[in-house]
Every structure is written in structure tokens, then in C-alpha cells.
A and B are shown apart, each in its own frame.
Chain A
Amino acid sequence: MKHYSAFAVAREALRYHTGWERAWRSPQPKKRYDVIIVGAGGHGLATAYYLGKNYGIQNVAVIEKGWLGGGNTGRNTTIIRSNYLQDPSAAIYEKARGLYEDLSQDLNYNIMFSPRGVMMLAQTQHEIRGYQRTAHANALQGVQTEWITPERVKELVPIINIDGPRYPVLGALWQERGGTARHDAVAWGYARACSAMGMDIIQQCEVTGVRQENGRVVGVDTTKGAIDCEKLGIVVAGHSGQLAEMAGFRLPLEAIALQALVSEPIKPCMDVVVMANTVHGYMSQSDKGEMVIGGGTDGFNNYTQRGSFHHIEETVRALVETFPMISRLKMLRQWGGIVDMTGDRSPILSKTPLQGCFINGGWGTGGFKAIPGSGWGMAQLMATGHSPLTEAFSLDRFKEGRFIDESVAAGVAH
């Protein structure tokens, strides 16, 4: 793998950049792999990467129906934070956030992790108590967050209206080391690194069946032929249900549409990520200058990657109220993605009834920020059969009533 650096760019410039090699190979599938990961999104590629890096398992194929990074990895609002309330969530998201800190260097690919700080506004007494609770929990979980005053909020976000007529800002939960990253780059960086380890990323290859022998997975059928494997990881947000069906089990998931939008680009005016859950809006400004805005989810099953406009309306009016100066900006583009929702809105990282087959899904609206931690834990689970990071997210929690409910702290899982 050719090393990326300013020097390399300068060197290639002299040859008019005709010397760059492929970021990742595009191989035909081999007959057999130790591990097959279905789904070349962030979570799938990260799982493969850490299998290789942490456990030396490099005979791995990542199979992708479409193009790598083409699902929710490339459709989200790129927020990275770990100020979650419940221990298991805080653990996996903080692991992810920590890995994001060094990911550019680790992958030798600039994923532009920008620890600009994430702020969750408290606009009711109930929210104040909720976020102060989170702040206390985070302190014990090793997650650095703090409760800040409205004045500090205004200092950090000059464009915010802290004394709006309806919901004045009463304070905020502030995670200084939260931020954003360039979402596509995360998938591309992992893909390049996996490919460099000799792993095969097989795009435009759809899995049509999961082959098993006496209760154990032995391979998959694909549009590019049958491929054998020891272990199988299903990491296909939005389509987990279909894959599980092929593998002969069911998942407590529903697929719904989540929407987002961006404004036209303007010069930098907001250096942090702000989430206002009482009014259902959150916003950050990308390095391109676009205001990146997350919308709500539909309440019904939907595979169209299109949502209903009224969710956009609710979000935008909330943000115009919170940041009056965006009133005359314009919405450039809106889009939707398909997310898997579980009964407690927390993900599933788990063994399955089919031996050797593992599932990573149900990230709902919050998957991007978890990618490195999810890959790390999933790799550990698949390689060793156990991971403290994923343990609480197992499938059986629903039967036992052992939920991981994040909504309780007025926090929504963006």
C-alpha cells in the first residue's frame, strides 16, 4: 500500500497524479475464507479490520451488495459522541470515540475526525435533571462530559438564541471531545486498510443464501457463486431481517426511514455540534460550510430511503427557532436512509441461533459514531466468542426484559 502524505501528494503532482494506485483491490471471490462479513459499510469493514489487526485473522472477505460505504455510513450526519447514560452504551461509544481520535494515523487515511465538541441543550427542568444524571454517570464511566451554563452555551455557539420565547436554554451537557468526521472517508479508510492486509472486498455481490450443516454456518451463496467460511458476520443495517431469514432465524427489528438535510454552504459560523432534543433538532456545520441537520424517523416500516416531508418541517422550524440566523439560508438537499430499530432502540451485537453466525445491527439512528467500537467489539466476539463491549447487546436481553433504554435521559440516539 502506497503511504499517503503531503510528500507523496507533492511527488505525484510532478507526474500529474497519474501514479496513484487503487485505494483497494477489486478481486473475484476465493473459494473459501476463514471469515465472511456481509456488508461493506463502516461497521462491517471495521469488524474485518480489527479481526485482522487484533487477532491476525486476515483470510477475510467483505461482501457488499452495492458499493462499499453506500448505505447509512454515507447518509448520516457524522456526529461522534459517547455521552450516553447506560453503562453498556457509554462503554462501546466511548471505545469508538477513543479509536476515532487516532483513526487517521492508524489507517493512514485522513478521516477528518474533528473533536469540535458536542452539546445537548436542556430546555426543560426535566431535561436538566436528565442531563445532570448523564453527567454523573459519565464521570463514573470514564466519559468526559460536563454540565454547562446558558452563558457558556452562548459563548461556544454565538448564533444560538438562548432566551427563545418558547424554550429558553437552561444549560447543556457538553462533551468537548465529541465531534464529527468525514463519513465516506471512514468507510474508504477501513476498506483501504483491509485490502492492504490482503482481505477481499467484493462489491456488487449480493448474498442470496446462507449455507449451514447441522446447525453450523458453512458458507454463503452469492450472485458471484458459493463461498465457504468458518464464521459469518451479518452487518447489513436496514436489511438485517432479510439476511437473518436466510440464516434461518428472526430478529426483533423493524426497518424505518430516517431523514437528514443540508443547507447551502456558508462561511464558518458554528464550531460545535448542537442537539436540541426538546424541539427535536440537531445541527452542525461541515468543513464545506453546509449546515448539516438531522431529521426525525417515520413511524412505519419503509424500505424506500425516502421519508415524509413533515418530519423535515418539524426539524427545520425547531432549528430556525433555536438559531434564528439560519432562517434565510436555504435547504440544498434532503435524503433518507433505512435504519433498523429494536425494541429498546439499542443495537444488537450477538451470537445467533446459528453456530458460527454473528449479527451486528439495530443501530437505529446512532450507528456512525459507534463504528470503530462496534468493529472492535464484534471482532473480539467473533474471534474469541466473548466481548465485554458487546455482552449486554445480546439477543436474549429482550426475553429477560434486560433492556438498554437510552431514551430515559431525554437523550435521543442521534
Chain B
Amino acid sequence: MSTRLAKQGRLIDRSKQVTFTFNGTSMQGYEGDTLASALLANDQMMMGRSFKYHRPRGVVASGAEEPNALVGLGQGNRFEPNQRATTTELFNGLTSASQNHWPNLEFDIGAVNKHLSRFLPAGFYYKMFIHPKPFWKHVYEPFIRQSAGLGKAPDKDSRDADTYEHFYAFTDILVIGGGIAGLQAAKAAAQSGAKVMLIEQTAHWGGRAPVDGGTVDGQPVDKFVEQLVSELETMDNVTMRSRCMGAGVYDHGYVLGYERLTDHKPGAQGPRHRLWRIRAKQIVTATGAIERPLSFAGNDVPGVMLASAMRDYVVNWGVTPGDRVIVATNNDDAYRTAIILKQAGVDILRVVDARATAGPLAEEARQLGIRVDPGKAIAKVKGGKRVKKVALCNQDGIGGAREEIECDAVAMSGGWSPVVHMWSHCGGKLLWDEANAHFHPDPERPPLGANGEGFVVAAGAANGAMPLQDVLFDAQTAGEAASNAAGFTPVTADAPKGADVAEAPMEPVWLMPANADIQLRMKSWLDFQNDVKVSDVQLAAREGYESVEHTKRYTTLGMATDQGKLSNINGLAILADALDSEIPKVGTTTFRPPYTPISMASIGGEARGDVFQPIRQTPMHNWHDKNGADWEPVGHWRRTYAYVRPGESVHDAVNREVKNTRENLGLLDASTLGKLIVKGPDAGKFLDMMYTNMMSTLKVGKCRYGLMCSENGFLIDDGVVARIDEDTWLCHTTTGGAERIHGHMEEWLQTEWWDWKVYVANVTEQYAQVAVVGPNARKVLEKLGGMDLSKEALPFMEWRDGKIGDFDCRAYRISFSGELSYELAVPASQGQAFWDALTEAGKEFGVMPYGTECLHILRAEKGFIMIGDETDGTVIPQDLGLHWALSKKKEDYLGKRAHSRTHMADPERWKLVGLETVDGSVIPDGAYAVGEGVNANGQRNMIGRVTSTYYSANLGKGIAMGLIKHGPDRMGEIVEFPGTDGKSYKAKIVDPIFFDKDGEKQNV
């Protein structure tokens, strides 16, 4: 059984007991445990079920590469699925549950797949479930989805209880990985004076070196680490962050650091995760290496574990996964596990070494009385929910002549693969190393930065340097190289001297035994989580899925939550063999960020809830909110759709506002309309290019309605332009148009006509602008007193500066409603006071505020177009009968050339008309008018569409505007608009001005 040892455990504090639960059972661990080590200490060998066959799964690794021991962590608003037990720090009150089984871990219905596995090889679903057709959606797929998936989905109504943030960091050199290589590289780099940042994904410095033993400069490795860390801590050009993983390397030296601040102490103050956006001149990847499993039958039975992981559990956490252990290997390193376990009092029944000869470590093992079998292999591991027996055979054979040994755990080592993810994210290339049978970074082909030079340097095991002494030497070199590349002068120094037992060469073993028969190959796992076996990869190759990408996608090899950290190289080797090719020729799949999964919330950072997106507010925003505003988002602005009174529906409110504005007095908050100052000797010339109409001839004190087109000829904006003085104009834009049109103007001024003397400034928010609209508009303003606003003093389409009450004000006599109307601009800081004054003074005149829907209806009654309703990016002024606004005198303006293209000049284009339903009903939004027959694709022929459609409370019927083929020539004709409600709407084509055709109301 797996148990806690009496001694050992460099990372745990036996004086601090911690209580946690697994599948509802309360268990004990120590501070410093990971969830995995604590579960093993409680003899919880089985920790989950596999993805496809629901086979029992136990922990196989001790770190980020773990594919099996995934749990649902926490509860309610802090529940998180698929959390690796191996990287979860234990804390008091931790609750965890295993995944992918029903009804429970021990007994799982889905495990039936296990027995069907022979009928469910790679890609079986491409070949099955084809007939009968409806079955896929209604029977097959629901079943497959249910048995697939992995972690439990969080509750549909759960709301993350934590907060998250980003941080922008800048450094000369970023070192990723706080093992001895990272620490040494950081020191070497820092000595050049460069600013160095060092990040480590775990809570501890030193990586796995302290477990593997050996000495540095004559002292134990952990002493060396201790000194190095405290040395770095005293250097003020060095920043160190533990629990901070290098998640991804992006172009131009941009790195994501994923810092887990409170995962190990939930509920603590502050954000849960911090996503670092690190800009570094140079990046050192000291990300270590990952041990490879061996492919033998039953290598997925709980209790079969990576040799390095097994000694980690003993040395770091004082836990042994078994009492009677067999070690299988193709290299010397695994002997360290045998020795360490033996010294910890565990029975090592056998070291099965596929090689003929081993190095000094094997001797040391024999000295301790461990039996070493050279040339041997594991034919099969027996046992269901944990290891019971192992059958041994010769490596060079098909797996016959077996010797069976009872045991409860197996340590396996297939050699080591450098972690090259960070090197590869941005295109760093790899080299195949025959001797060590692994890919390592090709220093000749690093990822290239903004200057075209390499910006990543690999160090230590991540660079393929395995023995202790090589690791330190390589790290020193990398640190110096990085500082040099970052523009500093490295202080060259000798690397500390690492000393460790020399190792005999490993021998690649991709299958145990070498010629294992098909029954064994069908039980030899490559990808433990996704249940991909040696036979599956061989099947893919046989069926022609020859590219490594094909094989990956066909078998799902390496697509599990570990992204193939354990399986990729082994699978690649099997594929290469099946294709009778070489591993480097077959190549690897692409490494993509993140290195290990990072929380969605950390990616979003602070942007959630209140600050998910900006909400732009006018100076009167709070008043609207207090007075029943039904909000409408317009860009980032919020505008009042209607002011709904108690007991009113939104629709009622709109109708009330419409009638009141026509009959009495309405107030509209028009502050969101853009206001751009355009000034300079060439301003007139410039505006003549920007607008389709002539602006240079506008007289000071007057206003003109202007249209803007893109170079493509389509309408992009409109608004009233006022001439302020000889060389100054003020241009109104649509709401949300301010930034867009300001940018548009700056673009042409800076990149096309940069010799023109024009300056533009966006003064939109300097003013609170209020439209005072209706028969009583002048009365209320006269009551407030101040400037003369009589018809004579301020005629239609003119503006004046002056005072209204005691407010400094610019008054525009313009109307978007057809009513007597003034748009009044006062300083934003007095907007609310001004609004209050109008509301107060307006009482006797029946004042009511109105919203955007009322505004739309009023303008529609007058046949005024609205950018975004009558236009949609495909409409030109000619379509809307706005020829009058297209200056004939001007040789050029943006869009003019485009208008002469054949399709733009096509008489068949749909043109603006008014529409009146014969029965007074309201045509649905977006309805299309149909003609006769169908087109070549069998679609009903359309002859037009509605662009605006409303119920007019003033006219007591539905009114609409629309674009109709030959519309203006078809006045009086009836066209038909089929609704999606089953009804069909018949409407008469009429003049778009429905109300006060002669404009008498506004000219008073």
C-alpha cells in the first residue's frame, strides 16, 4: 500500500497537520503536501478515471505533466474542475472529488467501455454511427458527449467569488524556471547589471535537483540552492516570483506569467490570480525536463509511476507509493529511485533494465542488495484498480517466457525530454539528439524578435544538458549570453562545479518488449488520459494518417489536458517506426500556449462586472437614472431610450413623450453628439473634402446639415456644421461618431494633406447639450431670461453665443423633430444645473424629458434619415434622395469618384420612400418587400426593405421609411412585406414626410 514514511519529506512540516476531504472522506496531511502526496499518504492510489474507457487512474507524475490525478476542487462559487492534484498545495478544509465516473470512483458504469475497448479503436467513431442518420444527433452523440467530457461543469448559476488582475512588467532578462539552471542563469545575467526577473511555477526554488542528489562545489545541492536564492534576494536588480508560471511566449519578447496568489489560501484578501504581461529583451527558458513513461502492457494501472515522481514523493513528502516496488528502465537515472526507496526502507524487488549494461549507479544498487536484471522488460502489469503482479520477459522478444512477481508499485523511466514549449511558442526550432533520444532547442534557429535576432536562450535540462555539472555550466553560459544579447557586458565567471555519479548511455526503448504482440500493444498506453495505445498509433499509420498532425487528431494522442507532455515523444517514435521513418523526419506537433492551462478569469483580469467595459456617462446621467431611464447602449455611451413612469410600459412612455413633445415641451440630453472644432486657413478647403456638400461657403453664425461618405462612396456620418469664425468651424457628429470621425479627419490631415494648415480638436465632452423642443420651447427659455431667441434674432439654422438664465450658452436653432427647437450647449460642469433649471421653469409649459425612441419617431414623422437605420454601410446619398447635399460645384470630395462606378449609378438601386400600411398597422422591423418569382438560387425575389418603422402616436398609425426598387417612381403603389409572424403587410408607397410637410411648426 502507499503510506507516509516515518522519516523524510523535505517539503512538509510534520508539526502542522492539515485536514481535507476526497470524495467526501476526511483525510489528514501535512503543510507542504500536495493533494497528490497527501492522497498517497492516505493510501488513495486510485484518483480518477480515464477519458475514453473510464479505466482506473492513479497519479503517475509529481508535477505539471500529470495527466491522471485530476480533481474537482472546492465548492459552489469556488469550484474548479480538472485541477491537477500534483500541483495543488494542500490547505486546511480543502475539498476535492475525483472525475469522470458514475455513480462513483470505485464502481463506474462507464467502465463498460473498458471491456468494449477492443471495438473502440482510434477513430472508431468516424467509421460508425453513420446510419440511420437521425441517430447521430438523438442517440449516438448524446451518449458520446455524456461519457466524454472530463471534469464536472460548474453550477450554471455559479458566480466566481474571486477577483483577478493584470500587471505590466518590464525587464531586460526574464528567466523562466527556478530550478538550479534558472537560479544560476539569473545570477549570471544579473551580474552584468541587467534587470532580471525570475519566475517559478511551484512554491519552491531549486526544482528537482535537491531530490536527485549530487554535490555543488562540494556541498549538498539543497545547501547550494539555499545560498544562491538568498544571494539573488539581496540583488536589487533581481525580481523573484514563485507560484508564477511562464505560460506563453509571444512575438517581440512578450511573455505571460500566471501567478497563483491565493489558490493555496482561498478567501484571503486580494486577487486570486495575477496575469503578468512581461516585456523582456531576452528570455532564458530554464524549464527543465520531463521523464518519459515506458510503453508496456498495463503501464496505465494505478501504482505504475514515473521513477522520478516516485522518488519525489519519498524525498519531498515522505510518502512511498508502495511497499514492494519494481523498477523498469532504459537508463541509469532510474537507479536513483531504486536506491532512494531502498534507503527509505521500501522493498525493491527488481530493477528491470532493458539494456545489456548499466553504469555505476547499478553497482551502487547491487551493493544495497537490489537485484538488477539486464536485458529484461516488463511484459505486462496485472491488476485493475492497483498493481498486483508484474510479468517479466526478455526485452528482445514478443513477450513470452514470463516470470511473474507480486508487487504493489512499478517505477518506470524511458529517459528524459527537455521542456521546449517556451522555446517553441514563437517558432524556435528543435534538434533530435540520438544519444539521449530527445528533442532539444537548436541554438542556430531560435525564435526571432523585433530586431530579427533570437530572443530566447535555453538553459540546463531544458537545453538538453542533463548531468548536474553540465546543467550548471550551461546555465552560466546562457545567463551570460542573454545579458550580452540584451546589450550588457557579461561578467564571465566559472560555473559552480556540480559533481554526480557518471551515467552509462541510455538506450531508446519505445516498446516493451521490443516485438510485443498485438494483444500487448493494445494494452500499452501512450496517452493515459485519452486512452491512446501503441496499437492506435499503428492503426492510424496503417490507414494513411501519416502526418504527425493527422495521427494526433485521429487518435487524440497528446490532446488531453497535459497536451502530450508524457505521450508525444513516445507516440512519435511508434509512428516513425510504423512509417519506417526516423523520428526527426516525422517531426513534432506545434507547441501552443499556455504551458499548462490558465484560468479564463485571469485572462479577463479586472474586466468583470462593473468594469467589464466602460460605460460613458453624460453630465445628466444620474438624473436620468433616477427618473426612470430605460437605458440603451450606444457604443460605450448609455442613452435614455425612454423615461418610464410607474405603471407605464416602455411603449406607453414612448407614446407619451412623442405626443408631449409635439404638443408642449420636450427635453433631450443630446450631450453624446460629437463636437469637433476644425480651425485653420485651409479648414474650409478641408471640410469641402470631408463633406459631400460645400462647407467653405457657409456664413459665420450659420449652420448647415452635412453628409460624410467614405472613399467607397457609402454614407458614414452626418450632422450639423456651424461656422464659428473666419477660419473656425464646429462639426457635429452622430453619437459615438466623435472619436471615429475625429480619427477619420486626423488620418486625412496627417497622411494625405499634411501640408494643409488645419487643426482639429474634439470638444464633445466639454459641453452638456440639451435639445429644448416643442411649441413651448421659446417660452421656457424666455422665462429663464438672457439672450434674445426671437425668430428675428436667431433664425432657423443659425447659432449665437450668449446667456440663458445665468448659464453661458451656445444656442443652435436647429431641429431634428420638425418642432420649434433649440439645441443649447453649456459647460459640462453645469449641465445638471442647467437641466434642473429647464425642468423647473418648464413645469408650467408641460415639460417632459424624452428619450432616443421618441427622437427616432419624431424624425421619422418628418422623413429625416438616421445614420445606422436608413444607412447600413452599403447605402449612398443618392439612394436616400439626398442629391441636394451632393455639391455639383466641387471637383472632388471623399466618395465622389466612387459614386460614378456602374453599380452605384445603377437605376435599379433601391431608393428611399415613405411607407404607409393600408390598415394602419406597423410593418415589422427589417421586413423585406417581395416581387414576383424566385432567383437562380430559388430565393424569393426582393424589391426593397423597411429601414425605419414606428407607431406614430401623433398620426395614430404605423409609419415607415424604406428602400424600394424604383420607389420614387411608384408613388401610390402597394407593395407587400411578408412578416415572420405569418402575416403579410401591405403598404402604400408615399412621400417620406408624414407630418407638417411645409415645416410650419419649426419656422415660428
Contact = CB atoms under 8 A, between A and B. Distances in A.
Question: Is there any pair of Cβ atoms, one from A and one from B, under 8 angstroms apart in the complex?
Answer: yes
B57 to A, nearest CB: 15
Residue from the set B159, B593, B924 with the largest chain A CB neighbour count within 10 Å: B593
Nearest to A101: B133
Given A265-B148, A287-B141, A332 B126 contact: no
Interface in A227-275: 263-269
B928 A332 contact: no
B902 A401 contact: yes
Contact of A70 (B79, B518, B547): B547
A104 interface: yes
Nearest to A270: B153
A123 B124 CA distance: 42
A140 B942 contact: yes
Interface string B127-147: 111110100110001001110
Given A17-B539, A87-B937, A264-B597, A401 B145 contact: no
A324 B609 CA distance: 10
B363 interface: no
B700 interface: no
A292 B297 CA distance: 34
B869 A129 contact: yes
Interface stretch (B250-258, B324-332, B485-493): B250-258
B937 A327 contact: no
A8 B159 CA distance: 48
Interface string A91-129: 100010000001011001110111110000001111011
Interface in A171-192: 182, 184-185, 188-189
B874 interface: yes
A399 B901 CA distance: 8
A306 interface: yes
A70 B554 CA distance: 13
B600 A329 contact: yes
B151 interface: yes
B961 to A, nearest CB: 13
A24 B553 CA distance: 16
B544 A22 contact: yes
A320 B131 contact: no
B926 A136 contact: yes
B294 to A, nearest CB: 22
A389 interface: yes
B926 A388 contact: no
A26 interface: yes
B539 A330 contact: no
Contacts of A278: 633
Contact of A26 (B256, B546, B632): B546
B697 interface: no
A324 B159 contact: yes
Contacts of B121: 9, 13, 17
A5 B128 contact: yes
B930 interface: yes
Contact of A23 (B125, B148, B543): B543
A200 interface: no
A104 B535 CA distance: 26
Contacts of B980: 132, 135-136, 139, 146-147
Contacts of A389: 937
Contacts of A321: 604, 608, 612
B248 interface: yes
Contact of A317 (B535, B612, B712): B612
B883 interface: no
Which of A21, A125, A268 has the most chain B CB atoms closer than 10 A to its own CB? A125
A402 interface: yes
Contacts of B927: 136
A128 B926 CA distance: 9
Contact of B544 (A24, A95, A135, A325): A24
Contact of B125 (A110, A326, A333, A388): A110
B133 A104 contact: yes
Contact of B426 (A9, A113, A126, A306): A306
A133 interface: yes
Nearest to A404: B874
A333 B425 CA distance: 12
A246 to B, nearest CB: 25
A151 to B, nearest CB: 15
A233 B683 CA distance: 52
Given A287-B144, A316-B603, A306 B119 contact: no
A401 B149 CA distance: 49
A298 to B, nearest CB: 11
Contacts of B518: 16, 18
Interface residues of B, number: 116
Interface string B554-588: 10100101010000000000000000000000000
Interface in A363-414: 388-389, 391, 399-403, 405, 407-409
A318 B255 CA distance: 22
Interface in A49-86: 66-67, 69-70, 74
Contacts of B127: 4-5, 8-9, 109-110
Contacts of B126: 4, 109-110, 182, 185, 188-189
Contacts of A391: 936
B925 to A, nearest CB: 5
B810 interface: no
Contacts of A36: none
B809 interface: no
Interface in A326-385: 326-335
A158 interface: yes
A134 interface: yes
Contact of A306 (B250, B522, B901): B250
Contacts of A104: 130, 133, 136
Contacts of A405: 873-874
A110 to B, nearest CB: 5
B841 interface: no
Given A289-B149, A401-B712, A388 B82 contact: no
B607 interface: yes
B158 interface: yes
A268 B869 CA distance: 40
Interface stretch (A159-167, A207-215, A218-226): A159-167
A110 B81 contact: no
B590 interface: yes
Contact of A325 (B158, B522, B563, B604): B158
B940 A140 contact: yes
Given A136-B980, A185-B126, A267 B604 contact: no
A320 B937 contact: no
A20 B937 contact: no
Interface in B902-932: 902-904, 924-928, 930
B898 A401 contact: yes
7 contacts: A140-B939, A142-B938, A165-B612, A184-B554, A287-B144, A312-B603, A316-B604
Given A129-B925, A137-B926, A142-B940, 12 more contacts: A23-B543, A26-B546, A87-B935, A146-B980, A159-B153, A268-B146, A309-B256, A317-B604, A320-B604, A324-B158, A331-B603, A332-B561
Question: Which 5 A-B pairs give the minimum distances between C-beta atoms?
Answer: A133-B926, A289-B149, A317-B604, A330-B597, A388-B936
Interface of B: 51, 78-82, 118-119, 121, 124-131, 133, 136-137, 141, 144-146, 148-160, 248, 250-251, 254, 256, 277, 426-427, 518-519, 522, 535, 539, 542-547, 549-550, 553-554, 556, 559, 561, 563, 590, 592-594, 597-601, 603-605, 607-610, 612-613, 615, 632-634, 641, 712-713, 868-869, 872-874, 898, 901-904, 924-928, 930, 935-940, 942, 945, 978-980
